Structure 1
């Protein structure tokens, strides 16, 4: 059976995206690089794969274990050095797009907490924060 891949699926946005997809009856594979604890609302409902999205070969090897039909790419980092941030996140995005092409997925979506929460001064960001007013978004 085909599955939806959610990169960064144990992160703030990824875990809730994975939950929504499972509630729609979809089979979901989530990836995580740093986090190992699965939120209770996902326990037993998703398959978890450890993945550094900047490792193209490891990314593409997911297809050896799963039939992926769609990708939701949410994996990302927030390092202190903006150059490292863009280098890492662009490599992950390019690998997700390579995988989408190689696997001939139906859909590939990309989002980030940075895009949602930019403009908030509180750190760390969490689900309880209100999104910034529209006037702060570009």
Structure 2
């Protein structure tokens, strides 16, 4: 299932990239055709995600669990969010920056997707890992 969330990094670059783990997934019983998926995203020091888009129907709420996350969504300016702070992404948004703001401490966030039940994958990188 994690592969459906984001294309996983190869082991040789794992230290440079985030680790994504599904924490919860369930159909919404009172909203036909929708599901909720929660994932934890862990960033080692200095790690980052590739620029990416989420499923077209996905509304995302992100809560920083630890450390500090630098994020830029759409045309908004990049911002650093610290543990206890949150942000959201509208359906179809482009996430150009998502990274650990520290090169010394790890960081993590909880991302909660409300998405059409059939939308897969939830995250698609702009380019394949390792390509230039």
Identify the TM-score tier after normalising by the shorter chain: under 0.3
More strand by share: 2
Larger Cα Rg: Structure 1 or Structure 2? Answer: 1
More helix by share: 1
- Normalised by the size of structure 2, how large is the TM-score? 0.28
Q: Which has the higher contact order (CA 8 A, sep 6+)?
A: 2
